[in-house]
Structure 1
Amino acid sequence: MTNQDDFQIVDAWINYSKFHIRITKAINHVLMEHYHVGLTDFYFLYYLGESPENELQQSELQTLTQLSPSALSRMVSRLKEYKGVTILEKKPLPQDKRGYTIKLTESGKKLLKELITTLETNLNASLSKDDITHIYSLSTD
């Protein structure tokens, strides 16, 4: 029989995974309930919002979101007009007509700010002080 102390890192990883899954599900629920967007949509918008000039190339977004080209294309088509408002601009790359850039419009920036504010409010209200401290301790930025 193996000594249980040999599995401390595995136990810690399992507990971290449970914590991550719980928060991810909660965030996704809040986003869907209030805005009808999922967590992957939020990541997509967040990465655009954090990029210089709120614009990224298709290939960069694929890497960040881990989406296939077709899944990313479907996401862009679905989110471009969000609730009747244009939140994304899609432009072909001058050097490669197969690729394109995606940029948040002013309306997109406003939506992203609302999403972040809603998530901040909900997470601060629902997480314990220890959970929040733990999340901050994992941040490398």
Structure 2
Amino acid sequence: MKATVATDASAAWSRVAAFASAVDASLGKWLLETYRVGLTEYRALAHLEDAPDNELRVNDLAQRVGLNQSSATRLVSRLYAKGLTRRDVCPDDARGVYAVITEQGATLVHEVRGPYEDRVRELLGGAAAHFPQVDAVQLGRDVTDVGALISPA
């Protein structure tokens, strides 16, 4: 019985992860076409906009957007080159680097946030239409099953 539960959990997770990847790909394409910003770039800017003092250590930003340290450093460099962030050194630890959202970055987040939320709702609410390869009923069960496996810390 335990092997079946593990197999069912892994199959459910695989379907949820594949759907999440498809949604992310669609969101990324839409963001690039509409706002000329990538999905990870937008998510990083949104995290910075929501953070106290509009800044995060690059390590913390990396964790929030699901990147490793070097990828997050490259991301912050791209955002800096676009004028959307600036770097700041931690006053307590000169090795610590902060990414700080600029006024231009904050303006972009404010412009994108509402339409982005609408697009997410559209994609999730119309999953069968947007992603015909997905069995929406099965996916709903999979999300419930995966959610049941997640225990609060």
TM-score w.r.t. length of structure 2: 0.67
Q: How does 1:73-112 map to 2 (within 5 A)?
A: 73-82=73-82, 86-112=83-109
Residues 31 and 38 of structure 2 are in contact (CA less than 8 Å); yes or no, is this contact kept in structure 1? yes
Pick closer, same or farther for the CA change 1:22–1:55 going to 2, 3 Å.
same
Residues 31 and 38 of structure 1 are in contact (CA less than 8 Å); yes or no, is this contact kept in structure 2? yes
Identify the residue that residue 118 of structure 2 maps to in structure 1.
121
SS at match of 2:99: strand
Higher relative contact order (CA 8 A, sep 6+): 2
Q: Which stretches in structure 1 are left out of the alignment for 5+ residues? A: none
Identify the residue that residue 130 of structure 2 maps to in structure 1.
none
Identify the residue that residue 32 of structure 2 maps to in structure 1.
32
Identify the residue that residue 56 of structure 1 maps to in structure 2.
56
Identify the residue that residue 71 of structure 1 maps to in structure 2.
71
Residues 23 and 123 of structure 2 are in contact (CA less than 8 Å); yes or no, is this contact kept in structure 1? no
Q: What's the CA shift for 1:72?
A: 2.3
Identify the residue that residue 132 of structure 2 maps to in structure 1.
none
Identity %: 27
**What CA distance in whole angstroms lies between the structure 1 residues aligned with 2:41 and 2:12?**
29
SS at match of 1:77: helix
**Residue range with higher mean Cα deviation, 69-78 or 105-114:** 69-78
* AA at the equivalent of 1:34: T
**What CA distance in whole angstroms lies between the structure 2 residues aligned with 1:73 and 1:18?**
27
Identify the residue that residue 47 of structure 1 maps to in structure 2.
47
* AA at the equivalent of 1:54: N
Q: Which stretches in structure 2 are left out of the alignment for 5+ residues? A: 128-135
Instruction: Give the superposed CA RMSD.
Output: 3.0
